[in-house]
Structure 1
Amino acid sequence: MAPRQPVARASAPSWSARLREAFDRSALAVPAYRRFWASMLISNVGSWLQLVAQGWLILALTDSPAYLGFYGLLRSVPTLTVTLVGGAVADRADRRCILLVTQSAAAALALLLGLLDLTGLVRPWHILVIAFATATVMAFDNPARQAMVPGLVGNERVASAVGLNSAAWNAAAVVGPSLAGLLVAAAGTGWAFGLNGLSYLPVIWAVWTLEPATPSNRSQTPIVAHVRLGLRAVRQDRRLLGLLTLLAVPTFLGRPYLQLMPVFARDVLHTSAAGYGMLMGINGAGALSGALLVGTLSERGRRGKLLFFVNIIFASALVAFALSQWVMLSATLLFLIGASQTLLMALTNTLIQLTVPDEFRGRVMALYTVIPMGFMPLGTMALGGIGDIVGVPLTVAVAAAIALGFTLVGRRLFPEVYHLT
């Protein structure tokens, strides 16, 4: 009897092979996107340098918290009032040209502020005017940048690109403020503004190397009418209406917890300023983790079902956090909240990108941008006012419970979203 031959077993792929396969599936496999993403990561760090330094300089010049509040208001006004116009422009003009203009303008404004500061000529009103002008420029920049993603990477890599974009911002949010603190302490705020101005140069170069993004809609319709057409398109498409509504409600009712965190840290958990910083850092780490998970989770399909699941996790964890009085439990929940809120934003972004016709992409992505920038401050005002009367923990817990209830009802209101893939 012939001896039995050993059965050859296929060896498991090595880690390097698995990493290579994951890279080939990701948006980073596209050279144009890879250049664009790397340049945006650098620019995001620069943006955080300027945000931190501007606030510090305003306080140093005015010693007025009210002036800081006015500065924050001025920065939000263009986002709420001009972004929809920016979206309409992104649907009519070459998006590559829009980004070249906006990035160049933002660089010039940052360098101007740096020059004023380094020469000792800067005054508080200079900072306000430049902050307002920069926010106006970004109201045109953001919709065009968001709308360019599918054209750069293709629909099959949109989820990966959205996750990577979110990861770039969240990673910069970890590095940028710390770097800004060291730079301002060592050299002053002027150098922070100057470095931010220079950080736009890689983006300008990366965008310059892209193919022209031919506009899909060359209509000569007036801009205001063009905006209305975009709003009508959202109202008539139950998928888009559902996606934006399922983002708006938890943003209004849930996201204000970030602005109310000092109350939880000091009055509920009885921690110091260092403890508050630790809690915020853990929340940021969760947000970065969520951004890195977007591509992997999206590859499994049923993104609509996953969106509802993430919404439920976010609201449930927020209810538990609002009621928690233990630091370790609160820290764990904050990590989960950070991850789920980033997944919620990124999944919504991905599904909108895969659903919206290209002729409306800029305007719909403008709405996507306005919701977190507009609804979160409004929610903070509402929850903060109610919290003064009945207490912040109870207010946040009830608001999060309402958001949870709406998500459960939303499954029936928007079945079209639930079945999106």
Structure 2
Amino acid sequence: MSSTSPFTLAEDETEIASRFRTFRSLRNPVFRRLWMAGWLWYMNRMMEMAVLSWLVLELTDSPSQVALVGVFRMAPMFLLGLVAGSLSDRFPRKYVMIATQIVNVVVVGGMLAVLVGGDVEPWHAYLATFLTGSAWAVDFSARRAYFAEIFRGDALTNAISLDVVCLTGSSIVGPLFAGAIIELVDFSGSYALMFGLYLAAGWVLFTIPKTESMGEEKTPVLRQLKESVTVLATNRALVAALTITVSLNFFGFPFLTMVPVIGRDVLGANAFLYGILAGAAGVGSLTGAIIIASRQIRNHGQVYSLGSAFMLGIMVLFALSEWYTVSLVLLMVAGLGMSGFATMQPTIALRAVSPEMRGRAMGAIALGIGASPLGMLTVGWMAEPENLGPQMALAVLTGTGFVVVMALRFMLPELRGVRR
């Protein structure tokens, strides 16, 4: 992209020192629109996870069945990760993102019709979340590669941090809205709101310009996939980012599927209190993301790996807590570590590769995120009453993850000092 493009934010050290550093990326008109669409898109994702997890828990009363909601949500990351990255390098990223929104609108509209009809079954939830998860896998690569087209250096870190602000802020508001609407209306009320929000997000994306340098890579898809594997095998920074991604998604993020089970069966929460609990980690993560956005981070690997280890350690305490208030606070604290992981993951990956490989780099990260279904299946099986139960299952999984992440820090120097 030309340096004179009206959609490029030219950052120099004077601008970086500005007192408006935290939100400086929002001066870019394209990013402002992406940021607005991100709030709508992420809030829907968080609402959907909360609604479908509670719905399946009510339908089946089974922790392993609830875990399957997360499994079907995240499986497309593994199945489509590299392909999605290739698509975002091959086609204009604006149109890739719009296509994912069309899929979301169709799926949410169909699920709304099923809920209104009153004949909902668990498989409806699994199918719906698999389809929206597939759209998310494609959007994940395209959206972040788009960021790297309009920002560079510390400005890219700032933009990604503000994107995490959207993600984490939505993880607070989304479950809260979902729980409140379930209590006040029903499950269909939550889906009606989601349908409207997806339409609004799609409209915002239509206003984003397509610039000439975005998504014009015409290398054959099979060659792109081969290049993705080659880069993944030889780029040490990308390997470091991927190992932590796999570890946290297998050992850490399956906690999301245990929150409704622990909330209802251990802490005595109703749907509204569950919504508050499900959004608690977002409070800490939002705080951490704002702090990171306001600073110049020099050691990305340190923040990335220590944030991941911190989250896992606090999750062990959450798993063992018997008190709602204590559990709420622990999830907020864990969110601080989560913000280090969420902001540094795409930053490291995007800065480790050449511009034409950015979509494929994010596709490789998406492949690592695909480890979460295995973790969710594992914790769901362990959480059944005849095995360990939900608390001990989550404590064992996250405790093991803490040990693994600390071992990776010792083995991979990039996780102790990935610098600019």
Whether TM exceeds 0.5 here: the answer is yes
The aligned amino acid for 1:375 is A
Aligned runs of 1:110-121 on 2, under 5 Å? 110-118=108-116, 120=117
Aligned residue in 2 for 1:231: 229
Aligned residue in 2 for 1:4: none
SS in structure 2 opposite 1:169? helix
Aligned residue in 2 for 1:158: 156
Match of 1:352 among 349, 354, 364: 349
Residue 369 of structure 2 corresponds to residue 376 of structure 1: no
Deviations 1:247-286 (A, max 9, x none): 323443444455556898899xx75448988765543322
Shift of the alpha carbon at 1:174?
A: 1.4
Aligned residue in 2 for 1:418: 417
The aligned amino acid for 1:403 is V
Preserved contact between residue 317 and residue 336 of structure 1 (Cα < 8 Å): yes
Aligned residue in 2 for 1:6: none
Q: Distance in 2 between matches of 1:319 and 1:36?
A: 35
Aligned residue in 2 for 1:13: none
Preserved contact between residue 254 and residue 399 of structure 1 (Cα < 8 Å): no
Aligned residue in 1 for 2:190: 192
Residue 144 of structure 2 corresponds to residue 146 of structure 1: yes
Preserved contact between residue 315 and residue 400 of structure 1 (Cα < 8 Å): yes
Aligned residue in 1 for 2:7: none
The verdict on how the C-alpha distance between 1:151 and 1:72 changes in structure 2, with shifts beyond 3 A counting, is same
Aligned runs of 1:13-412 on 2, under 5 Å? 21-22=19-20, 26-55=24-53, 63=60, 65=62, 68=66, 70-118=68-116, 120=117, 123-124=120-121, 126-213=124-211, 214-222=214-222, 225-257=223-255, 259=257, 271-273=267-269, 282-297=280-295, 299-311=296-308, 313-314=310-311, 317=314, 334-372=331-369, 374-382=370-378, 388=387, 392=393, 395-396=396-397, 398-410=399-411
Q: Distance in 2 between matches of 1:327 and 1:132?
A: 31
Preserved contact between residue 109 and residue 197 of structure 1 (Cα < 8 Å): no
Q: Which runs of 5+ in 2 are unaligned?
A: 1-15
Aligned residue in 2 for 1:3: none
Shift of the alpha carbon at 1:32?
A: 1.3
SS in structure 2 opposite 1:156? helix
The aligned amino acid for 1:402 is V
Deviations 1:139-185 (A, max 9, x none): 22221112111223444321122111112122112112222233334
The verdict on how the C-alpha distance between 1:130 and 1:91 changes in structure 2, with shifts beyond 3 A counting, is same
Q: Distance in 1 between matches of 2:360 and 2:395?
A: 37
The verdict on how the C-alpha distance between 1:178 and 1:254 changes in structure 2, with shifts beyond 3 A counting, is closer
Cα RMSD (Å) of the superposition? 3.8
Q: Distance in 1 between matches of 2:19 and 2:200?
A: 28
The verdict on how the C-alpha distance between 1:259 and 1:59 changes in structure 2, with shifts beyond 3 A counting, is closer
The aligned amino acid for 1:215 is G
The verdict on how the C-alpha distance between 1:244 and 1:197 changes in structure 2, with shifts beyond 3 A counting, is same
The aligned amino acid for 1:162 is I
The aligned amino acid for 2:356 is E
SS in structure 2 opposite 1:91? helix
Q: Distance in 2 between matches of 1:20 and 1:392?
A: 47
The verdict on how the C-alpha distance between 1:109 and 1:310 changes in structure 2, with shifts beyond 3 A counting, is closer
Greater CA radius of gyration, 1 or 2?
1
Q: Distance in 2 between matches of 1:129 and 1:308?
A: 34
Q: Which runs of 5+ in 1 are unaligned?
A: 1-17
